[in-house]
Amino acid sequence: MIYADNAATTKISDVAFENMLPFLREEYGNASSQYSLGTKARRAIVRSRQQVAVAIGADPSEITFTSGGSEANSWVLRSIAEAYCSEAVHIITSSIEHHSVLNACHVLEQNGVEVTYLPVDSNGCVSVNDVKLAIKPTTKLVSIMFANNEIGTIQPIEEIGKLLNEKGILFHTDAVQTVGHIPIDVHGLQIDFLTASAHKFNGAKGTGILYKRSGLKLPPLVFGGEQEQGLRAGTENVAGIVALGCALEESVANITEMSEMLSDLVQITIKRLKEAIPEICINGEDTKRLPGILSVTFPYASGEAIMHLLDMKGICVSTSSACNSGKDTPSHVLLALGLTEQQAKSTIRISYGRYNTIDEAEKIIEAISSVYSKIVANI
């Protein structure tokens, strides 16, 4: 099998797996217990919190562990609405956000919150000027993803952070696709809230990160004990948290090497695919993108058909976000770029990761070319 859907999830790294394993067996203590078995678990969580803080330029006290990015996104958005429930609340986001942000905003709208959904250009990029023009006296939060999960476009986070800091407006970024893949300094970027998920950078599924700038308050997500500084009660997923910290530390240590390798794989794929199928379109090609994500539109073939035929050849790619798979609707991200419904449905996403090789990329290119030729021949 050749796995090229790393934007959906990644294989856990050997380092992360080996470090989490003892906390599933020998070191299985509850981190809230006072005896040595519990103390070992608590120390492991402290160490992971430090690893995360170093990786994103934060302080350990600013890190809260969650079950993943979706939980953390919902927590931030709902908390802001709750914190200002006695006054008018306006939130700004983009039209290409992850569904955990968009659907949370839709629910907030039903409860009286005003939400502005900013458009993007043909490369999927939000305009800083559009953010500025959308701000109202009631604007309490701006939530713009760091980089898009379908086309890889990196947003102008530094410029948005500077603008919002000057205006005293809170800034949240969904960095699920970027943490561990490109350098991030939350303080330097003037980010107030950042969310991430371990399984996107070779950690274990079921663990995530919420960065909350020191001095900001959020109501508890879960009431109960004092876990996670009283913000998220319940016995911690120690093994998952340990894997998260180790995987992120490892990813950041190799970030330059991995970025160069993934960029090479993408460029080889683009070059060879264009030679074989000149009529394809690379979405977001003319802008700054994550190194491993490639969105390709084919003019005469269903993306779903290509995906299934590749699957029969042992190759895993996707047609859109994994959170939208199984639905017979075109990607909201691709429609926001200006693609027609037909073009959006004729698109696949290839997302390379640390375990992919040039040989695998060559096989993917060859398989796509073969599959596409067969589909077009039967039209």
CATH code: domain of residue 168: 3.40.640.10
Domain of residue 278 covers: 2-9+255-377
Q: Which residue has the tokens 């990813």?
A: 251
Is the model's pLDDT at 379 over the cut of 80?
no
The reported pTM is: 0.96
The total number of structural domains in the chain stands at 2
The share of the chain scoring above pLDDT 70, in percent, equals 98
User: Is 323 labeled as catalytic in the residue annotation?
Assistant: yes
Q: What is the CATH number of the domain that holds 291?
A: 3.90.1150.10
- 44 Cβ contact partners less than 8 Å away, ≥ 6 residues apart: 23, 27, 31, 238, 241, 242
Residue 54: how many CA atoms within 13 Å on its side-chain side? 15
- Do 60 and 119 belong to one domain? yes
272 and 302: one domain?
yes
Task: Report the DSSP beta bridge partners of residue 352.
Answer: none
Confidence of residue 325 (pLDDT cuts 50, 70, 90): low
Query: In angstroms, rounded to a whole number, what is the distance separating the alpha carbons of residues 198 and 48?
Result: 12
Under the banding of pLDDT at 50, 70 and 90, the label for residue 287 is confident
Residue where a domain stops, chosen among 232, 253, 274: 253
For the segment 226-244, what is each residue's pLDDT rounded down to a tens digit? 999 999 999 999 999 999 9
Select from 253, 285, 300 the last residue of a domain. Answer: 253
Quick one: 134 and 170 in the same domain? yes
Contacts (Cβ under 8 Å, ≥6 apart) of 197:
68, 69, 70, 176, 207, 208, 209
pLDDT digits (tens, 9 = 90+) for 258-281: 999 999 999 999 999 999 999 999
Rounded to an integer, the average pLDDT of 343-370 is 98
The DSSP bridge partners found for residue 64 are 210
The arithmetic mean of pLDDT across residues 349-371, rounded, is 98
| 177 and 277 share one domain | no
Burial class (CB in 10 A: 0-12, 13-18, 19+), 269: buried
